[in-house]
Structure 1
């Protein structure tokens, strides 16, 4: 029986472990330096309110990939959940993403869909033909006023720099709708697991051929992996190589926790778009499980900052300097024969849960196919 080491007990590692273990041909060890499984998707019930809390910020599962949806549902029950985000700007509450209600409220109009479309087109900066920066991308498509209201302050707080310093790719497309649809996502399948994400991942790795060791630090290229036939690595790519070419840039987030009686804000997520409010959003976790009843509540202010060596990296910055460093690390990865890098940190890309699961399934299946035909 071949021996496999998986570094990281998040979705990437759990999917690979589950796929390989089911064949009966592999003995798998999963290591993670944290004291829990689930990575940044880790959920647990708050001891004082009994609310299911997303410990590293909100996670709403959404996908249009039926295979991925059926896969996660095979490990637990997902209940439908529509993320209806609000944004507060200058004391007014608006609906996000920008939709017909947002436009009419912001401009004090009563446009129909086509009127609103023409209005937004008239607000766009026609002098920008090929947007290079986040700011240019936003101004071209929604104009100065909507950009300043909903994107400028929020983005500056989230990324710690002027939006004109950020690449346009961060704002790949502006989610503007010319109807009253306030569903934050466009995907066919949207939901939240009844027992939380950690329970889903726990079921993935419940197999006699899978061993999990938490609180275990992996040393990357300095680790002796000779006992294993293959290593699947989901940690930071720069950490694997002991930051030989420098650290890649990330933003991280931290939270201030509050509890109270009743209902604090009446919604799962509310953004705070004004630049002078230090946090980016508040999430109240009882609203992620509307099928439950809780007399008390727990909510979090979310703040963004630069990632230091002791922080958990969240959002890859992918600025020009980062991408140059990344190329050097990727060159080193290409020289490794028995190590596969996968997941958000190991590939230095921002990936949603469904992307991570889809990619992990593909990688595991290709690995098994390659092993079969060796």
Structure 2
């Protein structure tokens, strides 16, 4: 089943139908001798097969084959006889035939490359046809115990292929609650922007979590395999940081297609950013109090105090000629933390 969808995806990427691929494969397997036999010049194959094949690499292949006919002996010419006009027409069609074969082979090669890429992507994304397991284990951290969204009555019916694979997205902090229930928030569309919603494999989404206005976590979208086909042209290269230098995968979904995207969404799972990887939530305050930070996980609170930032110390340090005392951290009523030093002679 997975191979079936990988094939459909590769056909879409290559711009081919199944019939066109079959025709290209058939034509790409033919050579010059096949062409001559199929078009009424089989007598040339019978008489001059080896000589004709030596013309294959000649840039003027038609002239080369015609020269073979012109230099034929009396016995060969008798056998050719009345077929000569037909043979002449076939010979002058050789160049066009070989151009078609070359195009067909390029189509087959393109499809093969796309198919190999699709199979590699599905393996990396851990695609599975076991829907009962929620799409399998996709490499999420154990710390990110899943928080399944409730059933979404506003979502339309989903394609029932029985196969899923995950893509990931780090939303803006303000959109976390909405996205859990409804998918990407259309209200976040930036007027004058590029009208695209970005998804990626987990490593791509992880580059944004906890940065600026982005949430300290990401959503895993378990997508029906039909997504690969219906959004085939949305797959892009994000970078070259994939396994063994392969491209990182990103999907650019137009804001004009959210309903279609949501119909193919099997499940959404919130994955919080591991605490050790979160940016500091400490904020300046002149008294011990609690405060909220937009840089922390949604709804998180943290303890704030006028203590020195981590890594600083008030321990005196001795330098040649003087002692520099790390005297104190001051917490003014406004402005950033300030560092005060005092220097005394060493004796």
| Short-chain TM bin | under 0.3
The higher relative CO (CA closer than 8 Å, separation ≥ 6) is in 1
TM, length-normalised to structure 1: 0.22
Point out the structure with max Rg over C-alpha.
2
Instruction: State the TM-score, normalizing by the size of structure 2.
Output: 0.24
Higher helix share: 2
